């Protein structure tokens, strides 16, 4: 019979930055590589600007501007963590264009990270993009791409639980 009443809710997550898509297990920090915070992917960025990967609301912005949280209209929570151990930089090399409570669309400018400063300070620029409330996720499909363009390429497809 027809499945018009069983249509699954899905959500596309776009690349928040230009760069190389890498498997989360390759990130140098076990908090991310062992998926303690959530599941997703990481990007090795080649540009400084971070765009919104989804339509939603800013729910978290660290004072150091090295991490940002967005909640989608469907209730999915996305965390973008700029680099590894970058909290130790105390905000140096980071700039925010949004604040908690702001509504954003796919492709809106969120943050800027100065890749050169981060690398000069001996930190990794690997940037995890995580779903932190995996209890809402029925299926997470990672895109198999190498190079991604911010706001243009889909990096994850999420099927939500009913």
Report pLDDT digits (tens) over 34-91. Answer: 999 999 999 999 999 999 999 999 999 999 999 999 999 999 999 999 999 999 999 9
| Number of domains present in the structure of the chain | 1
CATH number of residue 32's parent domain: 2.70.70.10
Is 8's pLDDT higher than 80?
Answer: no
Q: pLDDT-based confidence at 144, cuts 50/70/90?
A: confident
Q: Which pTM does this prediction carry? A: 0.94
Q: pLDDT-based confidence at 4, cuts 50/70/90?
A: low
- What integer is the mean pLDDT of 9-23? 96
pLDDT (0 to 100) of residue 90: 96
Residue 155 forms part of a structural domain: yes
Residue 1 forms part of a structural domain: no
pLDDT (0 to 100) of residue 7: 67
Using CB atoms within 10 Å of the CB of residue 62, give its burial: 0 to 12 exposed, 13 to 18 middle, 19+ buried: middle
pLDDT (0 to 100) of residue 1: 44
Is 26's pLDDT higher than 60?
Answer: yes
Rounded Cα–Cα distance for residues 134 and 158 (Å): 10
One of 13, 40, 66, 81 is an active-site residue; which one?
A: 81
Which residue did the predictor score with more confidence, 95 or 8? 95
Residue 142 forms part of a structural domain: yes
126 is catalytic: no
pLDDT (0 to 100) of residue 162: 85
Kindly state the tokens that stand for 85.
């151990």
Contact at 8 Å (CB) between 89 and 33? no
Rounded Cα–Cα distance for residues 117 and 90 (Å): 12
Contact at 8 Å (CB) between 66 and 79? no
Question: Structural domain of residue 143, as residue ranges?
Answer: 10-160
Encode pLDDT of 91-129 as tens digits. 999 999 999 999 999 999 999 999 999 999 999 999 999
Residue 24 forms part of a structural domain: yes
């Amino acid at each position: 019979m027809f499945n018009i009443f069983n249509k699954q809710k899905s959500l596309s997550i776009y690349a928040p930055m230009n760069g190389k898509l890498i498997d989360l297990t390759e990130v140098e920090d076990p908090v991310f590589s062992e998926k303690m915070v959530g599941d997703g992917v990481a990007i090795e960025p080649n540009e400084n600007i971070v765009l919104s990967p989804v339509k939603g609301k800013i729910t978290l912005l660290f004072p150091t501007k090295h991490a940002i949280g967005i909640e989608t209209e469907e209730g999915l929570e996305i965390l973008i963590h700029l680099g590894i151990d970058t909290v130790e930089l105390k905000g140096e090399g980071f700039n925010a264009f949004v604040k908690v409570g702001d509504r954003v669309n796919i492709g809106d400018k969120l943050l800027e990270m100065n890749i050169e400063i981060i690398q000069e300070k001996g930190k990794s620029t690997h940037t995890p993009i995580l779903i932190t409330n995996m209890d809402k996720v029925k299926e997470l499909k990672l895109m198999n791409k190498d190079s991604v363009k911010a706001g243009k390429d889909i990096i994850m497809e999420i099927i939500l639980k009913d």
